[in-house]
Amino acid sequence: MLSYPTLPSYVRVLNRVDRRLRAFGLGLFPFEPAALLEIAARQAKLHDYAEDGTFHTALEALCRSAEEDARLTLVGRRVIRQFMIRALVNRLRRIHAQKREPEIADTVLVPPIIVIGLPRSGTTFLHHVLTLDNTARPLLFWELMEPIPGHGPDRRRAELQSTLAGMKSMVADLDAKHHFDADNPEECMLLLDSTLVSLSYWTFAPLYGYAKWFRQQDQRAPYRVYRWLLQLFQQKSPGRRLTLKAPAHTGALAALLEAIPDARIVQTHRDPADVVPSLNSLIFSLHALVTEEVDVRRMAAENMAHLEHMIERSEAARARAPCSVLDVQYDEMFRDPVACVKRIYDHFDIELNSTLAERIRSFAAQPKEKYGHHLYSAEDFGTSKAAIRERFAGYHQRYVAKDAGGARALQTHG
């Protein structure tokens, strides 16, 4: 059963006032590219955006989608507008750093481990397990949101914690769907936000026009930026292995491998009949924070289209580089996470020591519903498990059906 956020009374009043203003052609927090560029430049005290071929096109696509098809509330407009401004500020800081410290581009990466896979297929669990290694260098949510600090006191972590607390006060079961914390290792797709070609924008708002535009984009240039940011973090953590995850990379695997040819890619797999409703449930909660009413079936259709896109792109990339990816089954990682990590480490010729094995066992022994029970069903979104499995029959047959004999006791996880 779907439930909308419990908004504070003052938020509901502001949203009602905004509806009336817009009925008369008025409104606050407009999405105007020139204005956003100017605001970000003032905040960053920088002006060089290093405009490439897609920069203005991407910004226009974002702004047009936010104005025309997202149906954002007043609070939603403010939140998503600030999200875009932060991305522009991050871009300005990055370009300034690239000019000031050109040697960062020569930093040699310890071959990073990068977990990919369909969203809700166990990528978070596996990522957290892998980051228990003392030699691992995860990227935390607060540093992914703003990789380069600005002037003055560093308030990046505190500001994100405050934002997350506000979100959780309105969506009681958000942590049960995905535990957000400023100090958690989080999805490194956020490093792509400053390129304005990033799945983050659809994740946090119903930007339908932008989502369709995004799927048509060449990802190679954004992933060169992604590599540079990894080099920045590597320079600050010499010798440690960046240990990362983002389901979004699944749809850009070719670009990822071109940017980081020696990356250790681990791809998780789970029955799409469980992946799809779980994903829909999470995206519903995030979109419901910024829009008055989620068009549930339209949102679900967009998610399905993007999952198909991810599978198509990843299969094409894997066909060209068949030895570049190690497959891991959802059930495998929960059934025996130590054995799963050992198989990963053996494949990549990394030593798994007894201390790490014990940490993994301790982590895996935590209550599976520590942050609440994530309830969802395919029917909530106008479909059924059978229909989903039929739509993704090729993927299911190739990656899931062969493991059907494995334990299924933990299918509610994620």
Residues 369-385: tens digit of each pLDDT? 666 767 789 999 999 99
Contact 380, 281 (CB under 8 A): yes
Looking at the structure of the chain, the number of domains it has is 1
Q: Identify which has the larger pLDDT, 167 or 80.
A: 80
Tell me, what DSSP letter sits at residue 398? Answer: I
Domain contains 160: yes
CA 175 from centre of chain = 15
Q: Which residues pair with 268 in a beta bridge?
A: 117, 328
Query: Which of 212-246 are b and which e, b meaning 16 or more Cβ less than 10 Å from the residue's Cβ?
Result: bbbbebebebbbebbbbbbbbbbeeeeebbbbbbb
Domain contains 53: yes
Lowest mean pLDDT among 94-108, 175-189, 280-294, 306-320: 175-189
Band (pLDDT 50/70/90 cuts) for residue 323 is confident
Q: Which residues pair with 116 in a beta bridge?
A: 267
Contact 195, 189 (CB under 8 A): no
- Over 60: is that where the pLDDT of 407 sits? no
Residues 176-224: tens digit of each pLDDT? 787 889 999 999 999 999 999 999 999 999 999 999 999 999 999 999 9
Q: Identify which has the larger pLDDT, 14 or 298.
A: 298
- Which CATH number do you get for residue 271? 3.40.50.300
Domain contains 412: no
Q: Which residues pair with 241 in a beta bridge?
A: 136
Domain contains 4: no
**The tokens of 69 are what?**
């098809």
Contact 285, 8 (CB under 8 A): no
- Residue 135's CB is within 10 A of a number of other CB atoms, namely 13
Which of 150, 195, 185 minimizes the C-alpha distance to 57? 195
Domain contains 414: no
Residue 83 is which amino acid? F
- Over 50: is that where the pLDDT of 408 sits? no
Q: Identify which has the larger pLDDT, 193 or 163.
A: 193
Contact 197, 182 (CB under 8 A): no
Tell me, what DSSP letter sits at residue 101? Answer: -
pLDDT value of residue 1? 66
Helices 337-347 and 123-130, packing angle to 10 deg? 70
pLDDT value of residue 58? 97
Domain contains 139: yes
Tell me, what DSSP letter sits at residue 291? Answer: B
Domain contains 1: no
Q: Mean pLDDT, to the nearest integer, of 165-181?
A: 79
**The tokens of 49 are what?**
């955006």
At a CB cut-off of 8 Å and minimum separation 6, what does 18 contact? Answer: 27, 28, 73, 74, 77
Query: In whole angstroms, what is the distance from residue 150 CA to residue 44 CA?
Result: 7
Q: What is the DSSP string of 19-46?
A: HHHHHTT--SS---HHHHHHHHHHHHT-
Query: In whole angstroms, what is the distance from residue 207 CA to residue 62 CA?
Result: 7
Query: In whole angstroms, what is the distance from residue 185 CA to residue 189 CA?
Result: 12
Domain contains 221: yes
Residues 337-348: tens digit of each pLDDT? 999 999 999 999
Query: In whole angstroms, what is the distance from residue 24 CA to residue 18 CA?
Result: 10
Contact 189, 219 (CB under 8 A): no
Residue numbers of the domain that contains 191: 9-403
The percent of residues in the chain predicted with pLDDT above 90, rounded, is: 78
- Over 80: is that where the pLDDT of 405 sits? no
**The tokens of 96 are what?**
């300034």
pLDDT value of residue 403? 61
pLDDT value of residue 369? 67
Q: Left if phi > 0, otherwise alpha if psi is -120 to 50, otherwise beta: which for 185? A: beta
Which of 144, 309, 279 minimizes the C-alpha distance to 213? 309
**Dihedral angle, C-alpha 57, 226, 155, 207, nearest 10 °:** 40
